[in-house]
Amino acid sequence: MNPIMKTVLITAFVLPAAVACGQMLDPSFGTGGMTTFDAGGQEAPTSAALMDDGRIVVAGWTNTALFLLRYTLNGQLDPSFGVNGVVMPTEGSGITTKAWDVVVLADGRIIVAGSISSSGLIHFLVRRYLSNGDLDMSFGSSGQWVSSWSDIEEPRGIVLQSDGKILLCGRTTLSGQRGCVVRLDVDGTLDTSFGSSGMFQFPIASPISFAWSMALQTDGKVLVTGDSNWGDDAWCLRLTTDGVLDGPFGTAGLITITDANNYDSGFRLLSRADGTFFWMVWRSNTMSNGEVDLYHVDNDGGYLPYGPSIGAPLATGNEAYSMHLDAADRLLVFGDELIGTSNSLFLARNAATGDPDASFGTNGALQDLGSIVGAYCREMMVRPDGDVVLLADRHDGPTTDVLLMQYTGIPAGIPTNAAEALVSVTDLSDASFLIHSSGPPIDHIRVCDGLGRAVLEQEGDGDEMMIDLHDLPSGWYFASLMIAGGRIDRKMLRP
């Protein structure tokens, strides 16, 4: 035994090794790992995004207007944004706005994809906000872009291209009720070089089609998914960078799932660097209670083996919206399910084969997250250290509130192995911690701040290491311990 004294300032809170099982709400986030926003009315969250510095931006809508919230890393509303962390504009008389999706730029500016309605007409609305929550008046017309093709134009998803151009998906009634994709230039003007004068309309011959979400492939091509015939058929198509159907993909650019006995809807897409992608499809024979199936699709639109055959149903759940692929090709999914008469939240993880990951939760799922009754999944975000932030719509009687939860220790992107169980952390109650390995000796430790910058490096020398917390500024830090069996990560907060 050779304990080494160190001036590693990390945090007054260290997660025990048992957290690696992924079943612990982060007590340093909000109150007991959760935070809610209730302005006294109907606050319906729809989307969220992580900033580069770890803060969280949430978008949604009230009875009359869209809203944005920004949270600090510890789950508190950020007073430097809007009014006490909240942007909730007052719209003109008879005007209603909703936010459906949000992205954050590297400089902290925020782009919101939403809708604006008045006198029975609904149009695409895109607004760009500065990092302090003010409208960016250099974008579009006085900070926003509004579509004007038809009576009904509803967006759902937004994706940024590598050149900063903005892709939107949803539906339009310009030529029947059809799903569509629209592209804007960086300055918030319509990019008429895309599709037909800035818009691509889906060639789906059915009463109505809707595009729910998109994903970009590494070559810039655009994957889009949704449903047609009022949710009867699920489809996925691919567009070239010019906004036209990519003929070699599937059949004339399109793949579909049609089942006369089921409602089928394409919900989400997750693109991989090798050109393949995951396609999340909701399937039901009741239109209210179904299952979530996951498909692994190759670059040509063909199905790859995944799960029992081709499509792998999740271990649990009736609905899901978010996916994350970790370094071991395990797919983490956030969703909700009906338990009794109320909805509750779950996380499920599939192994690389598509089968439920037996090492995660119970039979591949963590159910009844937070013991919250009446909650519906909206977004999942995974931090660089592996912590998972979940956004949900919490029903509280006749109203809805914003719910954020942070789970810590879930290995979603951080390489882990059996060595995890060999390392323990003991709080010595004097702002220092003793790290002990009952297996291979500790080779190295690196401590990074909340932006991922290394602030301390230390070589190990034995099976124990002392960490002192006195010499670094207050804030979040992440310690990576290297031993012969792999890497173990711990998140800590210096108050």
- What's the CA gap between 458 and 313, in Å, rounded? 45
Angstrom distance (rounded) from CA 223 to CA 208:
20
Angle at 432 between CA 431 and CA 436, to 5 degrees: 155
Q: How far is CA 2 from CA 16, 379, 435, 489, in A?
A: 22, 45, 12, 22
Q: How far apart are CA 91 and CA 66, in angstroms?
A: 9
DSSP state of 26: -
Instruction: Give SS3 for 420.
Output: helix
Domain range 22-408, its CATH number among 2.130.10.10, 3.10.180.10, 2.40.30.10, 2.40.10.120: 2.130.10.10
State the DSSP code for 419. Answer: G
Q: Where are the alpha helices (DSSP H) in 209-301?
A: none
The tens place of each residue's pLDDT in the chain, 495 residues long, gives 332 322 333 222 232 222 223 347 887 899 888 999 998 888 999 999 999 999 999 999 998 899 999 999 999 999 999 999 999 999 988 999 999 999 999 999 999 999 999 988 999 999 999 999 999 999 999 999 999 888 888 899 999 999 999 999 998 888 778 889 999 999 999 999 999 999 999 876 555 688 999 999 999 999 999 988 766 789 999 999 999 999 999 999 999 988 766 788 899 999 999 999 999 998 876 655 678 889 999 999 999 999 876 777 776 667 888 999 988 899 999 999 887 778 899 999 999 999 998 888 788 888 888 888 889 999 999 988 788 999 999 987 778 899 999 988 644 333 344 445 567 767 665 666 777 777 778 777 776 655 445 677 777 777 887 777 677 776 566 676 776 655 666 666 666
Residue with structure tokens 């009446």?
Answer: 374
pTM for the full predicted model: 0.79
Question: How far is Cα 250 from Cα 173, in angstroms, rounded to an integer?
Answer: 26
Question: β-strand 365-367 against 342-350: which pairing, if any?
Answer: antiparallel
Give the domain ranges of the chain: 22-408, 418-494
d(CA 171, CA 161): 20
Q: Are 116 and 152 in contact (CB under 8 A)?
A: no
Q: What's the CATH code, domain 418-494?
A: 2.60.40.3080
Q: Phi, psi at residue 17, to the nearest 5°? A: -60, -30
SS3 18: helix
If you ran DSSP here, which 8-state letter would residue 27 be given? T
Q: Residue 10: which of 434, 461, 486 has the closest Cα? A: 434
